[in-house]
């Protein structure tokens, strides 16, 4: 109830759960020799980048998305391991299963991160904090891994909270004034603007150049000033700097489709060259499907000719698949359906897996181990990719 005796609007309770140094922690869990050591997960050769750095490696300044060469110079004693996406996907499924015990309203952001709206579950489990602690305890006991949890009344504050005392912590950001309005301005004021949603390195530089270094600076400037300086982005930064965010947890945000496309610097006329592009895209789509534990029910290719006429050819697969070989075969067949007469210079081509889901479908009864052989090949492909850091 508010002071005026009116019923306050239902207050949401949102958790943001984020695994700590996810890939690196899984590697340390599965290989005791890596525990307590600086570990870099990623590709070593060529353009390899760091997919994840253990906390021991972070002490030396190593970060994910950093070129592996740079990370190795910062921490030459680091152990480098190739990513094992099957293992990460399995853990990801397991943590989602744990989240699902407390609420069906889960919005996954990546393999190791999700928002959970627990508002409807409070009667059953108590408080957001209690649910967050229960999730942390289950992840630790069942998976021997740690996660950090933020608890707040909206997504933005929950995400900020989970990051405040990482690793292995639960932080609550839930303060309200006497009218039941969020009162987080003071708590958020000291945070640096790099933590603001939608602020990457470039925007951060621009903000700092104009004298905005913290959330408090954004609060002081006021909405009108920020809109004048940054347009609509300024309005949302102003609201967020006070901890105001109305976005709902989007339960059905999981990808319905996984695709790749490329616009060429110069048009390509050769069908063989386009086929090679499509096959490369099918490889990449296959890798991404397997990384996410997803299967495609239909596949499509898209060809845009130099006159911008765009053609999409699609087909349903006999069984949902995540196998590169089957995706490549479908890409080849769909391309072959173009007639020589309609073929001309191409400016864009793309390959997509559609109607994507976690359902692998019914195993065919008599396939003589074909699917198993394909799975082994895919595994090899994914390992080689990891190794060479492509
Ligand atoms: Mg994480």
DSSP 159-211: HHHHHHT-SS-EEEE--B-TTS-B--HHHHTTSBGGGSTT--HHHHHHHHHTT
Architecture of domain 176-249: Orthogonal Bundle (1.10)
pLDDT of residue 370: 76
pLDDT at 2: 40
253 pLDDT higher than 50: no
Range with the lowest mean pLDDT among 3-7, 94-98, 135-139, 328-332?
Answer: 3-7
How would you class 145 by CB atoms within 10 Å of its CB: exposed for 0-12, middle for 13-18, buried for 19 or more? buried
The alpha carbon of 167 and the centre of ligand 1 are apart by a number of angstroms equal to 9
Q: Identify whether 275 is a catalytic site residue.
A: no
Mean pLDDT of 163-176: 92
Could you read off the pLDDT of 211-222 as tens digits, one per residue?
A: 999 999 999 998
* Cα 156 to ligand 1 centroid, rounded to whole Å: 16
Q: Identify the band that residue 161 occupies on the pLDDT scale cut at 50, 70 and 90.
A: very high
Query: For 300-340, what is each residue's pLDDT tens digit?
Result: 999 999 888 888 899 988 889 999 999 999 999 999 988 88
Helices (H) and strands (E) in the chain, counts: 14, 12
**148 alpha carbon to ligand 1 midpoint, in Å?**
8
- Of the pLDDT bands very low, low, confident and very high (cuts 50, 70, 90), residue 64 is confident
**Residue 342: band (very low, low, confident or very high) from pLDDT cuts 50, 70, 90:** confident
CA–CA dist 182, 69 (Å, integer): 46
Distance 147 CA to ligand 1 centre (A): 8
d(CA 79, ligand 1 centre) in Å? 20
Q: What's the 216 CA to ligand 1 centre distance in angstroms?
A: 27
Locus of tokens 């110079």: 73
Ligand 1 centroid–CA 40 distance in Å is 15
For the cut 60, the answer to whether the pLDDT of residue 142 exceeds it is yes
In CATH terms, is domain 258-388 a member of 3.30.1490.100?
yes
User: What pLDDT is recorded for position 254?
Assistant: 52
What ranges do the domains of the chain cover?
10-174, 176-249, 258-388
Distance from the alpha carbon of residue 111 to the mean position of ligand 1, in angstroms: 9
Q: Are 60 and 74 contacting, i.e. CB atoms less than 8 angstroms apart?
A: yes
Cα 362 to ligand 1 centre (Å): 33
How far apart (Å, rounded) are the C-alpha atoms in residues 132 and 138?
A: 10
Provide the pLDDT confidence category of residue 367 given band limits of 50, 70 and 90: low
pLDDT score for 364: 56
pLDDT band at 10 (very low <50, low <70, confident <90, very high): low
3-state secondary structure of 79: strand
Ligand 1 centroid – CA 207 distance (Å): 26
Helix (H, G, I), strand (E, B) or coil at 98: helix
pTM to 2 decimal places: 0.65
**Residues of the chain with pLDDT > 90: what percent?**
59
Determine the pLDDT at residue 137: 98
Choose between 56 and 265: higher pLDDT: 56
Residue 113: strand, helix, or coil: strand
Residue 365 pLDDT > 70: no
Choose, from 27, 107, 113, 172, the residue flagged as catalytic: 113
Check whether domain 10-174 has CATH 3.30.70.270, yes or no: yes
Contact predicate 312/350, CB 8 Å? no
* CA 237 to centroid of ligand 1, rounded, Å: 24
If you average pLDDT over residues 246-263, what whole number do you get?
A: 79
Distance from Cα 358 to the centre of ligand 1, integer Å: 22
- 24-33, pLDDT tens digit by residue? 999 999 999 9
pLDDT in tens, 170-192: 999 987 777 766 678 999 999 99
Q: Does residue 46 carry a pLDDT above 90?
A: no
Mean per-residue pLDDT for 14-21?
Answer: 97
Q: pLDDT category, 57, cuts 50, 70, 90?
A: very high
């Amino acid at each position: 109830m508010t002071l005026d005796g009116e019923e306050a609007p239902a207050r949401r309770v949102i958790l943001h759960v984020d695994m700590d140094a996810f890939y690196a922690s899984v590697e340390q869990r599965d290989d005791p020799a890596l525990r307590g050591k600086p570990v870099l997960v990623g590709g070593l050769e060529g353009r390899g980048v760091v997919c994840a750095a253990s906390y021991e490696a972070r002490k030396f300044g190593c970060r994910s998305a950093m070129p592996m060469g740079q990370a190795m110079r910062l921490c030459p004693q680091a152990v480098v391991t190739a990513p094992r996406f099957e293992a990460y996907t399995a853990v990801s499924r397991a943590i989602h299963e744990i989240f699902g015990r407390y609420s069906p309203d889960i919005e996954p952001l990546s393999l190791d991160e999700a928002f959970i709206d627990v508002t409807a579950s409070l009667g059953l489990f108590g408080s957001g904090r209690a649910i967050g602690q229960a999730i942390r305890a289950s992840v630790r006991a069942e998976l021997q891994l740690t996660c950090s949890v933020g608890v707040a009344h909206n997504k933005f504050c929950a995400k900020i909270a989970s990051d405040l005392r990482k690793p292995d912590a639960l932080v609550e950001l839930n303060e309200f004034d006497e009218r039941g309005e969020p009162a987080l301005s003071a708590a958020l004021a000291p945070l640096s603007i790099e933590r603001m949603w939608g602020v990457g390195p470039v925007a951060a530089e621009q903000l700092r150049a104009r004298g905005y270094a913290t959330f408090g600076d954004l609060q002081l400037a006021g909405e009108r000033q920020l809109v004048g300086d940054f347009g609509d982005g300024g309005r949302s930064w102003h609201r967020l700097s006070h901890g105001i965010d109305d976005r709902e947890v989007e339960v059905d945000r999981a990808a319905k489709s996984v695709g790749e496309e490329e616009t060429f610097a110069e048009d390509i006329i050769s069908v063989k060259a386009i086929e090679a592009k499509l096959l490369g895209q099918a490889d990449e789509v296959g890798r991404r499907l397997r990384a996410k534990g997803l299967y495609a029910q239909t596949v499509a290719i898209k060809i845009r000719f130099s006159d911008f006429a765009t053609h999409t050819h699609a087909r349903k697969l006999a069984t949902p698949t995540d196998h590169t070989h089957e995706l490549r075969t479908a890409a080849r067949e769909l391309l072959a359906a173009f007639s020589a007469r309609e073929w001309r210079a191409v400016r864009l081509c793309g390959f997509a897996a559609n109607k994507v889901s976690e359902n692998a479908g019914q195993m065919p009864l008599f396939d003589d181990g074909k699917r198993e052989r394909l799975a082994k090949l895919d595994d090899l492909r994914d390992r080689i990719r990891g190794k060479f850091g492509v």
